[in-house]
Amino acid sequence: MNKKLKIILIIVGATLLSVLLYFGILHPRVKLLFQTLRVCAVMGGTSEIGDPILAYEKYDVKDDSFKMIDYGTYSVGVPSHWTDQSDEDSIFITYGRKSTTDEDVLAEALAATGNGQDCSNMILLNRDLYESDEIWYSVNNGFERLGYGMPTTAYDSIRIALSMDSKDYNLLNYNKSAAFTYALAYRAGSFFLYDGVTSWSYLYEDENKCGYIHEEYREDYDYYRYTFSFYDPDDLNTEYTIVLYTKEKDTAYAIINSLEFND
């Protein structure tokens, strides 16, 4: 066997060995990469996942003139001149004020049912989400490495998904990337993505409640629309939601800040 043939055989052998290592040892990483790309594609791109949720900073906006509306599990304040606008056949209890130019149109309003939704099936560390103990253990380790806390509740699962940065993904760290990918799927389906131009999303946390605020300016109607999905700190698996339409941001902030769970 001549020297040239030996070199070719060595190169072919090394290539085959590399292929075997790639699909034998690194195969889970390859599978994970494609899974991540599929989730990113759902979000509108192959790599851009959007910016992390913003920190809410308007906790000091209050209005002592508000009247409190009791929704059963919680109470929330609204401007004193807002009145009950609920439709007879609707499950929503709505308070607001009518437009001065069109009595059939609500200019500002708060709508809610008072009922909570059990979201315990959304807990990212639920064992039944994963096809094997090995993957579940990897994801647990990955969330520890991501540093946003452990998603042992529905609230924390969504909070972590919305807080992640694209820099958190590193295919060389399988555990961290696995946790990132599973959380990313929750982010892809979330209402709380924002563009930073006409919409914004905020993480709200105080001693009485926690949750996420989506703020959107509707230029066609010249008002701000808010969706506030929130949790009682004593029950982070039950989600409640209120929807607000206001002309001024501070009105919405004061309403959100006034909300408190009843004993």
Q: How high is the pLDDT of residue 135?
A: 84
Residue 64: partners with Cβ closer than 8 Å, 6 or more residues away: none
Distance CA 13, CA 17 (A): 6
Q: What residues of the chain score a pLDDT lower than 70?
A: 1-48
- Gap between the Cα atoms of 113 and 250, Å rounded: 23
Residue pLDDT, tens place only, 122-178: 999 999 988 889 889 988 999 999 999 999 999 999 999 999 998 887 777 778 888
